[in-house]
Amino acid sequence: MASKARRWIGRGVLALAGLAIGVLVIEMGARLLPANAAAEMLFNAPQNTPPGMYSNDHQTVFRPTPGFEGTMRSLGYSVPIQVNSLGLRGPEPVNNEQPRWLALGDSFTFAAQVPEEQSFVGLLGDSQQVQLFNAGSDGYGTRHALARFRQLEDKLAPELVVLIFFTGNDFSDNEQWRDAIRRAKERPDGAAIMGGPKPPLRSFLNKNSVIYGMFNMRKRAKAMTDGKSPEVRRWRREMSIFHRSGRMELRKGIDTTRMPMEELRDRVERKGGRLMVAVASPAFAVEDHRTQATFELVNLDLSEAELAAPETETLKLLKELEIPSCSLDTPLRQAYAEGERLYLAYDGHWSPAGHLVVAQALEDCLAEHGLAEKATGAQ
C-alpha cells in the first residue's frame, strides 16, 4: 500500500510540475506578444500602488507619505520608492551651494515607474547641477500643485519651479477640485489612501503575470465597449477634448485652469522664483499605433480626432499668462518617429527612454527662455 501511495504521489508531483512548466512556457510566450494598444487605459496599473505610499491631506487632497519606503511593482518594472520627510520623492534636502529647483505635477512627475536617477527629475537635476526636488503625486492637477507649492515654498525657497501639465486629465482634476478637497476634509488628515491589502495570489498575478493582465484587459474592454463599465463615461469625457465633439469641454477645461495657473505663477514670483510649464499629452496622442484602439474603446470616431488641440490651447493659455512654456509632445513625437518607444507597454507613463527625451527637451526650453542661467546664477 505504501509503495502504491508513493507512486500516486510521484505521479501527482510530476503532473503539477508539468502544469507549472506549461504555464511558465505560455507566460513567456505571452511576453513576446505586443501589448494591447489601449493598455494604458485597460491595465489599471494604479491598482498596484503599495499600501501607505499616499496619505490623505486636508490642503492638497493627498500626497506621498513622508518617510515611506517601498517598491512599486507592476508589469515591466520593479522600482524602489523613497519619500523624504517633506513628502517628496527622493532623499532629504542638503544644505550646500547648489541652487534649489522644484518639479510639480502628477504621476508623470512622481514617476514611480522608473528609478529616481532615470526620471527626468534626476536627469535634469544632474545635468544642471542643482537640487531638483520631486513634488509630483499621482492624481494631481494644477490646483493640487498650487496647494503643494504653498506647503513647500518657505521650506525649500526654490529659485525655479517646473510644472508638468498633463492634458490627459489635469483639466478634469482641476474641475473636480472642490469635491475632492471636500471629501479629503471628511477623512482624517494623514490617513493612508490609494492601495491596500489584496488577496495574495491576485496581487502577485497583477504585478507579474502578462496572461492575467491580458485576461483582465479583455474583460474590461468588453465591459467598456458594451457600455457596462462605470469608467467608460469618465474616460470618454476626458478623451473628448482630443476629438471634435469635445471642443466645448476643452474650452471649459482651459477656463477652469486659468485661475490656478495664474495664481501659481504669481506665488512663485512673489517668492523670488520663476515658473516654467511643460505640456505633455497621453501616450495615444503621441504614439499613433495606440490611437485607434483607444478611441474605439470609448466609441469616438478617429476621423474626427484633434489630437494636438489640448496642447495647442494650453500653450496659448500660457502665452496669454506670460508663463514660459515648453511643448513635450514635439520632441516625443519626433523620437517615436525615429523608432523610440517613449511610454511603457502596460502603463502609459514614460519609459526610461521617454524620460531621457523629456529631460533634454526641458533643458532646451530652459535655455531658450534663459531660465537656467537666471536660476543658477551662471554667467
159 DSSP assignment: S
Return the sign of the alpha-carbon dihedral for residues 290, 296, 302, 306: negative
For the chain, what is the largest distance between any 2 Cα atoms, rounded to a whole number of angstroms? 90
Q: Are 218 and 35 in contact (CB under 8 A)?
A: no
Helix (H, G, I), strand (E, B) or coil at 133: strand
CA 195 from chain center: how many Å?
16
d(CA 236, CA 243): 10
Residue 209 has what pLDDT?
85
Residue 37 has what pLDDT?
85
Residue from 358, 360, 247, 262 nearest 319 by CA: 262
d(CA 316, CA 337): 26
Residues of the chain predicted below pLDDT 70 = 1-27, 29-32, 194-197, 373-379
**Looking up cell 490627459, which residue turns up?**
168
- The number of helices, as runs of H, and strands, as runs of E, in the chain is 16, 10
Residue 80 is placed in which grid cell?
524602489
- Decide: residue 139, CB within 10 A, 0-12 exposed, 13-18 middle, 19+ buried: middle
d(CA 263, CA 176): 18
Helix (H, G, I), strand (E, B) or coil at 327: strand
Residue 97 has what pLDDT?
83
For the chain, the average pLDDT equals 90
Structural domains in the chain, sorted by start: 37-376 (3.40.50.1110)
Query: Long-range contacts made by residues 96-99, C-beta under 8 angstroms, separation at least 24?
Result: 96/131, 98/129, 98/130, 98/131, 99/130, 99/131, 99/159, 99/160, 99/375, 99/376, 99/377
d(CA 276, CA 193): 30
Residue 378 has what pLDDT?
45
Residue 375 has what pLDDT?
55
Residue from 379, 376, 353 nearest 123 by CA: 353
Residue 75 is placed in which grid cell?
508589469
Residue 25 has what pLDDT?
67
